[in-house]
Structure formats: C-alpha cells, structure tokens
Amino acid sequence: MIPLPVLDSHAPPVRVMALHALAYCPRLFYLEEVEEIRVADARVFAGRHLHAALAADEDGEAVSVELASDALGLVGKVDCLRRRDGSHLPYEHKRGRPARGPDNAPAPWPSDRLQVVAYAVLIEEAFGRPVPEGRVRYHAANVTVRVPVDGRAREDRRAALADARRLRETTDRPPVADNPRLCEKCSLAPVCLPEEVRHDRDPERDPVRLFPPDRDGVTLHVVTQGTAVGVSGDALVVKPRDEPERKHPMRGVEALLVHGFNQVSTQAIRKCVEHGVGVHWLTVSGHHTASLVPTAGQVQRRVRQYRALADEAVCLRLARQLATAKVEGQYRYLLRASRGDAEARAEIREPLGGIRPLLGRIPGAADRDAVRGLEGMAAAHYFAALRTLLGPQVPDALRSAARSRRPPLDRFNALLGYGYGLLHTVVMRAVLASGLEPALGFFHTPRSAAYPLVLDLMELFRVTLWDVPLVGSLNRGQWDPDADFVPTRAKVWLSDAGRRKAVGLFEDRLREAWKHPVLNYSLSYARSVELEARLLEKEWTGEPGLFARSRLR
C-alpha cells in the first residue's frame, strides 16, 4: 500500500500536472492553478480517452497511482508504476510525438521531463528506495524515452516548485508565451487570447484565430408559462403544461433561461452545475432576476478588477472608450439604414446633426458625469430617429412617439425592452464566464436593481444585437399587433407567441457571423460578447488596447 500523508491545509500542495503546465507556459500554470480556469477541448478529451484505455492492470503493474507528499508539497497521479531491477519506475503516456535531441534521437519535451521527475521523487519518498529514471511513452511515434533522475533533474524540479509557489502568491498574470506555436494547441487560448495580445503589440501581424467562432451549445429558453424542467440521466426534460415533454442532452446545452413562472427541479439545477450549464431566471417581460453559474477561482480576477476600477483615471478612460463606441455605432446605423433613401435621410437629418458634435466631444470629456451627459443626449437624438426608420407598411399600432421603459407604454417599446432584457442575460453570462464582478462597473452608477458592469457592456451591443434585427423584422411585417402583444391600460407586454418570436429573432442574430474589424477574423455575435468581456479584463491585466474598438460596418 502506498502511503498518502495528510497534507497541510494551510499550504496546499502543487499538482504534478501543474508543474507540467508551468514548464510548458507560466501563463498556462497561472490560469489553471491560481485562477482555476480549466477548459476541456478536443485534445484534452482525446488524452483522457487514451488514459482510460490504459486504465487496466497489465502484467501485475499498477496503473494510475495517486501519490502525495507533505514534505515535498506535491500531489499527483502517475499514469503507470512499473517495477524494474528492484525499483519502481514512473511511466507517463502521451498522445503526441517526442522532441528531438542534438543527435536527432527521441527526447522528452521539457514539460514531460519535469513531470516524470516529479513523480520519481514522490515514488522515492513513498517506498524509501531511489528511483534512477522515469519513462515517457509517445504513442504517435510508438517510442519510449528514458528520463534520468539525476542531480540536474532534481534541481530543476526544486526550482520549478519554487516558481510555482511564487506565482501562487501574486495577482499579476504572467505574459503570453514568446513562442506562438505553444498557443496553437493550448486549451486555454480562448481565455488567454494570446494572438489578440500579439496583434495589439504588432498591428501588422495577422492574428491566428484561436478564439472559438461560435458557441459550444444551444441556449435553451423556457418561455411557455407553467412549464416544468427536470432531469433524466444526462438530459434536461422540459414538460410544458399541455404539451409532450422534450429531452435535451446536457452536452448540447450551453445555458438554460427560465422566463416567468416556470419551475426547475433541484436535481436539474444540480445537473446543470455539474455540466457547467448556467441557469438564468428572467421575468415575463424579459427582465433578468438571477443567475447560477460555477464561480470557483475568481478571486485574483476580481481583486485586479477592484484595484483598477477604484482608480478614477482608469474609469474615465474606459467610459470615454465605451461611450464613443456606442454613439458611433448609433450614428453609423442611422446612416446605413437611410442610405439610398432621400426621404428617410431628410427625416433624420436633424438627429444626425445633433449626434455628430456630441461624438466629437466625448474623448475630451472632463469626468464620467460629463461622458454620461453627452451619451444621454446622443441617445435622445438616436431614439428620435430610430422610429423614423420604420417603413410605411408598418402599422401605426407598432410605432412609437417616445421612448418608454418601465413599463413600456406601446408595442414598439415593449419589443425594445424585451430584447434588451435578453441582451442583459447574454452579457451577464459573458461577464460571469470571464470571472468579473458584475456589480462593479465604470460607466453606469451603482443601483440596487441592476448590475453596472453588465449595463456597461450592454451599450456596445444594443444596436447590433437588437435594434438592427428588430427594425428589420418590423419592416418585413413579422409582428402581429394583436396576437403578439397583451395591451393593458397601464402597459403593453408581449404574449407567449410574441416572446417566442422575440427569442427566435434574438437567437438567430446571435448565430450570425461577422468579421471583427480590428482582429480581422470572423466569429458569431454570441462569441463576440464574450470576447469583449475578456478584452475588457485585459485593460487592467497589463494588456490594454482592444476593448470597445469594434464598430458597426
């Protein structure tokens, strides 16, 4: 029996796999071990499949043995433990090919060498006998490489462990790797964004798109009132009150959005948490009320956010960037929507003339209050022009004389408000996925009923993700003033049919692909929201420059 010492809870051990990550890239180590961000991509799953295939006792040899040492401060699980010449030797299995030594002979990669040496010293302590070497099996080349556990190897292990402990104590994220090839096979590239950082430093360099082009799964909206959501095996079961139940495999669901008075069982909520599926609750009118997502490992990211947004200069700079991007997006949309239509352009000439000088004043605004004032005046001009973009075929019942929010007083404002509620939830998901604190923003003032950072990021997407598709759908005659709305004396809401139609329109827009004007690669609108949240975090992690730079074409 291999002894497993009780480890000191006040000084958690370093995983041997973490030393492997450290040797590969210090930034990878920091993201995985300090910030606890782990992403399983196709390569990771392939590696797990290989180890599962090997997880059987072969010729009496121990497979997948857990080892721990309080004295060494290490813990890990060696792939295979074999006895040779009176000693136990660690074996590691790798899917790829080996490195090449000076004589072109197969050699271990530095990260693999450090990993197997760390296992060797753990085995020495467990059995009290020296371990002269470890071995790494590279399956793609069908070769086994020997790794001497000599004085140099032991010193490298001690130095790496010291570096790991040092990085654990800092909130400063290491820089991206100097070698871009390391990033091409890294599962954390969508979080690290190394190519985006390199492009910002060298705009002439075309970035390789390592950020995923689209979402990993579908967003499941539960709209029909009285619906119950349960679980069966690894599938969510959605049972409307008067309709047959439908099953949705968990592996294909990215998020669950519960609209209004619907029920989700505790078993379904737990299954969503286990599979990393966020659960978000909205009111019948689309207003976001709560979210449940895994939140481990966000301390360092939020400490950096708190420090940065406590600095008024940082907040003012970000507020100027945000307001400029929003107002310019509104201005460009009005120009584009009225292109080739002299009558429409004449109708919005006055709002355009009001927005243009405000846009020029934002970069020089003295403080955030001034920025907010300029943005607010531009918004008033924009909404005055927005309703004029509706063609003559749109019924009067779907038009609006003024902007009204809570409650919406007409059908047009009901549609705007509902779509912005859906957008709020999408942005909330991106903020939480990026490990940011939604209650601490830089543009909107704190309010008990809203998350300032979410409201901040929403400003970048209101036009592209809802205004544009909504006006287009109205002009195409897709809305029924009677069937899609429930008007009352004090307010107007969307009916069940209207909500389903709005959700469909919004989800279709999220799936559309567009080309980022700065990074020069294509991705879906859904992914662009997450990208912007991660670019915002870079503004206070030493890699600023790309936040709020995308524009409506």
* Predicted local confidence at residue 128, as pLDDT: 86
Q: Is residue 450 part of a domain?
A: no
Q: Is residue 491 part of a domain?
A: no
Where does the pLDDT of residue 5 fall: very low under 50, low under 70, confident under 90, or very high at 90 and above? very low
Between 70-74, 116-120, 532-536, the lowest mean confidence (pLDDT) is in 70-74
Highest-confidence range of 41-55, 327-341, 503-517, by mean pLDDT? Answer: 503-517
C-alpha to C-alpha distance for 119 and 82, rounded to whole angstroms: 12
DSSP-assigned letters across all residues of 421-434: HHHHHHHHHHHHHT
Strand order in the sheet with 263-264: 246-249, 235-239, 228-232, 263-264
* Number of domains comprising the chain: 3
| pLDDT above 90: residue 461 | yes
CA angle, 272 then 420 then 348, to 5°: 155
Token pair in block for residue 182 = 């390391």
The tens digit of pLDDT for each residue in 86-112 reads 678 898 999 889 999 888 899 999 999
| pLDDT above 50: residue 152 | yes
Q: Kindly state whether residues 165 and 72 are assigned to the same domain.
A: yes
| pLDDT above 70: residue 118 | yes
Token pair in block for residue 104 = 């072109």
Q: Is residue 136 part of a domain?
A: yes
| pLDDT above 60: residue 3 | no
C-alpha to C-alpha distance for 70 and 7, rounded to whole angstroms: 5
Q: Kindly state whether residues 37 and 160 are assigned to the same domain.
A: yes
* Predicted local confidence at residue 40, as pLDDT: 54
C-alpha to C-alpha distance for 123 and 109, rounded to whole angstroms: 21
Q: Kindly state whether residues 22 and 125 are assigned to the same domain.
A: yes
* Predicted local confidence at residue 448, as pLDDT: 61
Q: Kindly state whether residues 280 and 321 are assigned to the same domain.
A: no
| Cα 319 to Cα 31, 297, 446, 544, distances in angstroms | 28, 28, 14, 14
Highest-confidence range of 35-49, 243-257, 394-408, by mean pLDDT? Answer: 243-257
Domain around 265: 218-292
232: domain CATH number is 3.100.10.20
Domain end point (choices 242, 257, 292): 292
Q: Is residue 105 part of a domain?
A: yes
Q: Contact at 8 Å (CB) between 74 and 13?
A: yes
Between 35-44, 183-192, 352-361, the lowest mean confidence (pLDDT) is in 35-44
The tens digit of pLDDT for each residue in 225-279 reads 899 999 999 899 999 988 899 999 988 899 999 998 899 999 999 999 888 898 9
Q: Kindly state whether residues 271 and 327 are assigned to the same domain.
A: no
Q: Where are the alpha helices (DSSP H) in 476-553?
A: 496-511, 525-538
Residue 220: strand pairing partners: 256
Domain end point (choices 292, 320, 346): 292
Where does the pLDDT of residue 27 fall: very low under 50, low under 70, confident under 90, or very high at 90 and above? very high
Q: Kindly state whether residues 233 and 125 are assigned to the same domain.
A: no
| pLDDT above 70: residue 11 | no
Q: Contact at 8 Å (CB) between 303 and 442?
A: no
Q: Kindly state whether residues 18 and 77 are assigned to the same domain.
A: yes
* Predicted local confidence at residue 406, as pLDDT: 75
* Predicted local confidence at residue 347, as pLDDT: 85
Q: Which residue has 């601490």 as its token pair?
A: 440
Q: Kindly state whether residues 322 and 288 are assigned to the same domain.
A: no
Average pLDDT over residues 523-544: 93
C-alpha to C-alpha distance for 430 and 536, rounded to whole angstroms: 11
Q: Kindly state whether residues 286 and 244 are assigned to the same domain.
A: yes
Q: Kindly state whether residues 227 and 127 are assigned to the same domain.
A: no
Q: Is residue 466 part of a domain?
A: no
Full-model pTM: 0.84
Domain end point (choices 169, 195, 229): 169
